[in-house]
Amino acid sequence: MTRMQYPELRMRRLRATHKLRDMVRETSLSVNDFIYPLFVKEGIDAPEEIRSMPDQYQYPPKDIVEAAREAQALGIPAVMMFGIPELKDEVATSALDDNGITQNAIRAIKEDLGDRLMVIGDVCLCEYMSHGHCGIVENGEILNDVTLELYGRVAVSYARAGADMVAPSGMMDGQVGAIRHALDKAGYGHIPIMAYSAKQSSNFYGPFRDAAESAPSFGDRRGYQMDFANKEEAIRETLLDIQEGADIIMVKPALAYLDMIQSVRTEFRMPTAAYNVSGEFSMVKAAAANGWIDEKKVALEILTAIKRAGAEMIITYHAKDAAKWLKE
């Protein structure tokens, strides 16, 4: 092929009009790309705005179906459920209760919306633990293998409630295999697993810990979440999850980890999700509130970049707004 250069080649020709730019656009964002996180909380009577996440709410059980209906009406195909129980203890009792806050919310949404909305259960224990860590703690140490048995029981409980998918996020070694085994043994071999495969020990999670009321009461999570400096480790973690039975792999956070999204998608050719996390969302909201950026344009640019990097699914708090913007 003969190489053309300026002035024969003029790249601006294909940028001349809106329609022409649309025709040659390589990455197109769609509402079908979005998964919307929902928080349901015991002990409240009305939705409560999350102080560090403008326009995002903790919902009481009586309002969670309406919140899910709103997402579904906008064309969003899936929600991810996070529950905040009144009872928190050192063995995550509330997470294992078939009539727990998350299980009841899943059941109510599925009874109302059926196959019109997918419900994904986030499998972790931090919201249910009095100490805020993602596993059983003994003498200040998070115990990996003991925790796996609990993860399996939680996943089965969510499946029994009607969850369409489970998403283990605790970053315990072997969690995907333990959950796959538990689901299969309980007769839920059809339930897919979206694995938080490359979940970083990130500083972008702060607002989520307000939302889920899950901040650790001691130490931090660097002993089980990944060092954000390590891309090769992310690939190894992802490979292990695939070998253990993950159906979808995930990178979390997204915005500062576009290279990891691209790497795992290219390496494994697996369905890939990315979590556009609370800190990424709240930075946009804060800058927009100060008039420093255009919220709509910046949010859509970020979401497009995440998809361009290789994510087919984007878990994002922008989902409802983005669904509306894409219709304009």
The predicted structure's pLDDT at residue 213: 83
**Chain position carrying tokens 């695939």:** 242
pLDDT category at 78 given cuts 50, 70, 90 is very high
Q: Which of 88, 110, 199, 320 is catalytic?
A: 199
**Chain position carrying tokens 């790497």:** 263
pLDDT at 154 over 90: yes
pLDDT at 219 over 80: no
- Weakest mean pLDDT among 16-30, 52-66, 216-230, 261-275: 216-230
The predicted structure's pLDDT at residue 1: 61
pLDDT category at 224 given cuts 50, 70, 90 is confident
Torsional sign, CA 193, 194, 200, 206: negative
The predicted structure's pLDDT at residue 170: 93
* Mean predicted lDDT score pLDDT of the chain: 95
Six-digit token string for 320: 């409802």
Specify whether the CB–CB gap between 123 and 161 falls below 8 A: no
At 117-130, the pLDDT tens digits run: 999 999 999 999 99
Q: Which of 252, 285, 307, 320 is catalytic?
A: 252
Specify whether the CB–CB gap between 237 and 250 falls below 8 A: no
Helix (H, G, I), strand (E, B) or coil at 224: coil
Peptide bond into 253 cis (omega under 30): yes
The predicted structure's pLDDT at residue 167: 98
- Measured CA to CA, the distance from residue 238 to residue 39 in angstroms comes to 27
**What CATH number labels 29-325?**
3.20.20.70
Q: Is 252 a catalytic residue?
A: yes
Helix (H, G, I), strand (E, B) or coil at 311: coil
Domain ranges of the chain: 29-325
pLDDT category at 298 given cuts 50, 70, 90 is very high
List the helix and strand counts (H, then E) for the chain: 11, 12
Q: 97 or 134: whose pLDDT is higher?
A: 97
- Measured CA to CA, the distance from residue 316 to residue 204 in angstroms comes to 13
The predicted structure's pLDDT at residue 4: 86
Q: 218 or 143: whose pLDDT is higher?
A: 143
* Span 165-193, average pLDDT: 97
Q: Is 199 a catalytic residue?
A: yes
Specify whether the CB–CB gap between 211 and 205 falls below 8 A: no
pLDDT at 220 over 90: no
